[in-house]
């Protein structure tokens, strides 16, 4: 089903690309080496910034051999302004390999070069080597998620799935196809604000657009809501000592706490209290849980043997009570 839709989407995309593609320096007089340089530069840097630096880099190091025989300082200097200098070191190392062994001829060979991941290997293989190897980055995920109105959130598994879908429909114009997908994401099917659906070659095919919901794709990974736990916390005092207990497994395991219980009972457990001396509420936010606590300072007649009874000094010096209970340790004096 999706392969059928994608198959239909290829010709209008290629037709659109030939008319609307931007003139970019790495699209002129391309060699496998120059494509590799461009893709490494474009990994973490905007097209506009790369445009300014690509040409002078290629003028200085026109071939893998020229780059391989340069010193590291020269290479880093020429990379200046692009940032993420490990890319420059990787490119330098890759050039030494290429100068010795020739440019790889397969996706695996390209992937094995320093600094090259799945995306860059796909881009270089399809753009420079004529291989039907997809390059799926966030832009390609976005345009395909919209085309298919796919409810999945972005993930390595989704990128793999899309790579498989693209592999099944790869046209002979491998370079144009890969760059057309990138171009559509960059200038029409843009991430923020309204995509320019009126100008899109897929506007009669795109399921998200046909439903008027292109902004909803790709579906954002939902931040999981925190679980809220409502607790009663009892600070029991008896003859200058306070009741504490050791927490079991789970959150704050092995630390000490004041007796507490979920506040889902009709009334707080009496615990032999003579009277309530004070109450206060407090909140503590953990990564996945939020505690909303009501604390009771209680004077009791006896030291309930289910608890350890400790003086204020002992609690300060010996027993680690997590800061989630800080509001109530203030009662311990
Ligand atoms: N981003 C990554 N590779 C690109 C390319 N070859 N053209 C335009 N943008 C890109």
Joined tokens for residue 204: 């009669």
pLDDT digits (tens, 9 = 90+) for 205-260: 999 999 999 888 998 877 777 899 999 999 999 999 999 998 888 888 778 899 99
How far, in Å, is the centroid of ligand 1 from the Cα of 102? 24
DSSP E strands, 191-226: none
* Reported pTM: 0.70
pLDDT digits (tens, 9 = 90+) for 263-311: 877 666 667 677 788 999 999 988 789 999 999 999 998 898 999 999 9
Whether ligand 1 lies within 6 angstroms of the CB of 137 is answered as no
Whether ligand 1 lies within 6 angstroms of the CB of 39 is answered as yes
* Contact by Cβ (8 Å): 136, 157: no
Q: What domains are there in the chain, each with its CATH number?
A: 2-216 (1.10.340.30), 227-329 (3.90.79.10)
How far, in Å, is the centroid of ligand 1 from the Cα of 13? 16
Choice between 274 and 90, residue whose per-residue pLDDT is larger: 90
* Contact by Cβ (8 Å): 178, 127: yes
CA distance linking residue 40 with residue 124, whole number of Å = 10
Burial class (CB within 10 angstroms; exposed 0-12, middle 13-18, buried 19+) of 141: buried
Q: What is the mean predicted confidence (pLDDT) over 305-318? A: 92
Joined tokens for residue 162: 């899309």
* Mutation to probe ligand 1, out of 182, 188, 189 (largest number of atoms < 8 A from CB): 182
How far, in Å, is the centroid of ligand 1 from the Cα of 280? 59
Residue 110: closest CA among 121, 102, 118: 121
- Quick one: pLDDT at residue 270? 64
Which residues 6+ apart lie within 8 Å of 274 measured at CB? Answer: 298, 299, 300, 301
Choice between 97 and 320, residue whose per-residue pLDDT is larger: 97
How far, in Å, is the centroid of ligand 1 from the Cα of 95? 20
Backbone angles phi, psi at 40, to 5 degrees: -65, -40
Joined tokens for residue 216: 């909803």
Whether ligand 1 lies within 6 angstroms of the CB of 113 is answered as no
Q: Which of 2, 23, 28, 39 is catalytic?
A: 39
Burial class (CB within 10 angstroms; exposed 0-12, middle 13-18, buried 19+) of 133: buried
Q: Nearest-5° angle of CA 271, CA 276, CA 278?
A: 130
Whether ligand 1 lies within 6 angstroms of the CB of 182 is answered as yes
Q: Considering the chain, what percentage of its residues have pLDDT values greater than 70?
A: 97
Measured by CA distance, the residue closest to atom 5 of ligand 1 is 179
CA distance linking residue 108 with residue 279, whole number of Å = 67
- Quick one: pLDDT at residue 250? 80
């Amino acid at each position: 089903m999706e392969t059928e839709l994608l198959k239909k989407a290829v010709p209008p995309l290629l037709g659109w690309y030939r008319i609307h593609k931007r003139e970019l320096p790495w699209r002129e007089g391309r060699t496998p080496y120059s494509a590799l340089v461009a893709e490494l530069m474009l990994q973490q840097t905007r097209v506009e910034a790369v445009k300014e630096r690509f040409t002078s880099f290629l003028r200085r190091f026109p071939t893998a051999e020229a780059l391989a025989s340069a010193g590291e300082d020269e290479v880093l200097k020429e990379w200046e302004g692009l940032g993420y200098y490990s890319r420059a070191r990787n490119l330098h190392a890759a050039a030494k390999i290429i100068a010795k062994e020739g440019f790889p001829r397969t996706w695996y060979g390209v992937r094995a070069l320093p600094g090259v991941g799945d995306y860059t290997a796909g881009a270089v293989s399809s753009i420079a080597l004529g291989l039907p190897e997809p390059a799926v980055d966030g832009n390609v995920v976005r345009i395909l998620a919209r085309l298919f109105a796919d409810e999945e959130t972005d993930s390595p598994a989704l990128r793999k799935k899309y790579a498989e879908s693209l592999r099944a429909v790869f046209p002979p114009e491998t370079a144009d196809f890969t760059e057309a997908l990138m171009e559509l994401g960059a200038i029409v099917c843009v991430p923020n604000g309204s995509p320019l659906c009126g100008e899109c070659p897929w506007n009669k095919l795109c399921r998200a657009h046909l439903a008027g919901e292109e902004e909803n794709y790709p579906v954002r990974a939902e931040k999981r809501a925190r679980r809220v736990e409502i607790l009663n916390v009892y600070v029991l005092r008896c003859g200058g000592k306070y009741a504490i207990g050791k927490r079991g497994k789970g959150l704050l395991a092995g630390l000490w706490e004041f007796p507490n219980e979920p506040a889902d009972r009709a009334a707080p457990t009496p615990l032999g209290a003579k009277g309530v001396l004070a109450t206060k509420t407090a909140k503590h936010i953990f990564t996945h849980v939020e505690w909303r606590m009501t604390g009771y300072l209680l004077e009791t007649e006896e030291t309930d043997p289910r608890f350890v009874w400790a003086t204020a000094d002992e609690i300060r010096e010996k027993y680690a009570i997590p800061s989630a209970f800080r509001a109530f340790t203030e009662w311990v004096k």
